[in-house]
């Protein structure tokens, strides 16, 4: 899913940001093999890049921060906590 967000971020930014956010939701739900912080970083980065192209960066950055905060509040955290919110960028 991350590669789809990457490939369509400029040509279909609304679609690409939706795919990037969906990738983060699936990662958060525990789907994926041998996930690393890099996988989370790429999915978030491609979603944010597409959001900037769509003029929706603030909205998407805030949604990603909320996803990270929600996951961080769960016992044991989850994969999204590998992506520090401060690295998302300014809102």
Decide if pLDDT at 3 tops 80: yes
Q: Which residue has the higher pLDDT, 25 or 87?
A: 25
Contact predicate 40/24, CB 8 Å? yes
Decide if pLDDT at 79 tops 80: no
What's the pLDDT tens digit per position in 13-69? 999 999 999 999 998 888 877 877 788 888 888 999 999 999 999 999 999 988 888
In the predicted model, what is the mean pLDDT of residues 4-16? Answer: 92
For 3: left if phi > 0, alpha if psi spans -120 to 50, otherwise beta; the answer is alpha
Can you give the pLDDT at residue 59?
94
CA distances from 35 to 29, 32, 50, 91 (A): 12, 6, 22, 27
């Amino acid at each position: 899913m991350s590669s789809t967000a990457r490939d369509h971020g400029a040509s279909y930014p609304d679609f690409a940001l939706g795919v990037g956010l969906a990738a983060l939701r699936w990662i958060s739900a525990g789907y994926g093999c041998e996930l690393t912080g890099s996988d989370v970083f790429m999915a978030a980065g491609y979603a944010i890049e597409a959001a900037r192209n769509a003029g929706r960066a603030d909205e998407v950055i805030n949604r990603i921060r909320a996803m990270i905060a929600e996951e961080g509040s769960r016992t044991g955290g989850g994969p999204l906590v590998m992506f520090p919110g401060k690295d998302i960028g300014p809102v």
